[in-house]
Every structure is written in structure tokens, then in C-alpha cells.
Amino acid sequence: MGSKERAHLDLNDDDFDLSDFQPVDKSKQPEIDKETITRVAEKSGFQERPVKKKRQRSPYVIQKNIKMRMGMAELLADLTHKAQAGSDQETFELAILALIDKYGYEDLLQRYKELTKA
């Protein structure tokens, strides 16, 4: 048989046993003794992993892709660092607030406060 030829598969062939692919009856499986497993694991030096705290979900769930001039992404990262903001998203919100304040848009300021719970 050449390297590009596949072996013939005949499901009616007597040498082909499908019994290995039958679903396993879970009720016939023995009960797992968790206490014994824990004792053996502790004896072997394994320790139970501590329960991780659930991370707080980020408020930044909407993605808005924008195109930027060359170098602006780096400038945004530098500004985020200097402003000690937690992320570029936070810096972007601060920039929006600065524009609202600069132009005195009171109606937008109220919406901003509602959205950011500021």
C-alpha cells in the first residue's frame, strides 16, 4: 500500500469489535472512597488546592475597535502608566470625562456618572 492510500475499513468484518465503544453503565462502577484517596494523597505529600477567590467581573464588556495613528497605542500606554490608571480602558474613560468637563456638557456628565457610578 502506498503512502497516500488508506487502509480499507469494513464494519461488517469479524475482526472489528465495536464492544469497546459501548457506553459504560455508571451504576456498575465501584463507589470511590474519597477519605481513602485523601489519606493516601496526604501520605504521598499531595495537598488539596486552596479554593480560589472568584474574580470580580470587569465592567469593560463592550468592545469598540478603533483605528489609531501610528504610535498612539504606545502613547495611550504611557499615559495610562503616568496617570496610574488601572488599564487603557480606564484612561479612555478619564479622557472622555476631561472632554465633557472641557466643553461643559452637563447632560453628558450626568450620563457619564450613571455609567461609571462616579
CA nearest to 79, candidates 116, 64, 68: 68
| Total structural domains within the chain | 1
The answer to whether residue 109 sits within a structural domain is yes
The answer to whether residue 46 sits within a structural domain is no
The radius of gyration of the chain from alpha carbons, rounded to an integer in Å, stands at: 31
What is the rounded CA–CA span in Å between residue 95 and residue 118? 15
pLDDT digits (tens, 9 = 90+) for 85-107: 999 999 999 999 999 999 999 99
- The reported pLDDT for the residue numbered 36 is 86
The answer to whether residue 51 sits within a structural domain is no
Domain that holds residue 80: 72-116
The answer to whether residue 55 sits within a structural domain is no
The answer to whether residue 95 sits within a structural domain is yes
The answer to whether residue 28 sits within a structural domain is no
Overall average pLDDT of the 74-92 stretch: 95
